[in-house]
Structure 1
């Protein structure tokens, strides 16, 4: 049986974004248990936006369009960081948890930028 894959499934940046998304979903699930539904919804949406934009962009007809979707993914990294700051300030996540995810978001953002540079070089 032939197993088909989408192009994005082989991208390291997509794999990292899915791992981060899982962590953010765990936090969002905890927020819902505390009836913080808006925080949970916003965090899930921002977290999914990272991997969604990488996946969607990989199906673009042009490198320029893919590059733009990668910009959206990178911006979602910053949105997630901002939400985590608010959650930490409100004592909904620990400083250690925030910093751990921050480090992963910052690493992903750098890797997205490097991937964008590689797209430019292949143009």
Structure 2
């Protein structure tokens, strides 16, 4: 049962990494598509997409990274991911465009790093535990 719970948490970390990558791709693609073609801005830049994405990121990070921190007692993944979520939240406060994309990409990069550190600490590659 213990390995089943670890498997769920590891899957959540991997889902967080995937969603962070998709978020960064969305930011870059939105700027390129809207700038180059001039279409899609009404839904690619929709604030709702960003709000829902932040809520999903918060939920996955809270469960996966919080759970991992309780298990391996390392705070680095938690602190790095929370800094990333802060940048993502800050991106909601600036106008749509390059500033928002830069803040979001910094944020998702930090959240991804938090998930990667969490996976490594939990599986003993950095913590020295098996």
TM-score (norm 2): 0.49
Q: Report the equivalent of 1:26.
A: 67
Distance 1:56 1:80 in 2: 18
Distance 1:43 1:85, change over 3 A: same
Residues 1-123 of structure 1: matches in 2 within 5 Å?
11-23=51-63, 24-31=65-72, 36=73, 39=74, 41-61=75-95, 63-90=97-124
With a CA cutoff of 8 Å and minimum separation of 6, indicate the structure with the bigger relative contact order: 2
Q: Please list every run of 5 or more consecutive structure 2 residues that lacks an aligned counterpart in the other structure.
A: 1-46
Q: Report the equivalent of 2:18.
A: none
Distance 1:81 1:18, change over 3 A: closer
Distance 1:29 1:89, change over 3 A: closer
The count of residues paired between Structure 1 and Structure 2 equals 79
Deviations 1:41-96 (Å, cap 9, x if unpaired)?
Answer: 2111122123211111111145211110111122113312321342244178xxxx
Contact 1:50 1:74 in 2 (8 A): yes
TM-score (norm 1): 0.52
Distance 1:90 1:81 in 2: 14
**RMSD of equivalent CA atoms:** 2.7
Distance 2:110 2:103 in 1: 11
Q: Please list every run of 5 or more consecutive structure 1 residues that lacks an aligned counterpart in the other structure.
A: 1-6, 93-123
The list of structure 1 runs, each at least 4 consecutive aligned residues, that deviate by more than 6 angstroms after superposition, is none
Contact 1:17 1:50 in 2 (8 A): no
Q: Report the equivalent of 1:113.
A: none
Q: Secondary structure at the match of 2:103?
A: helix
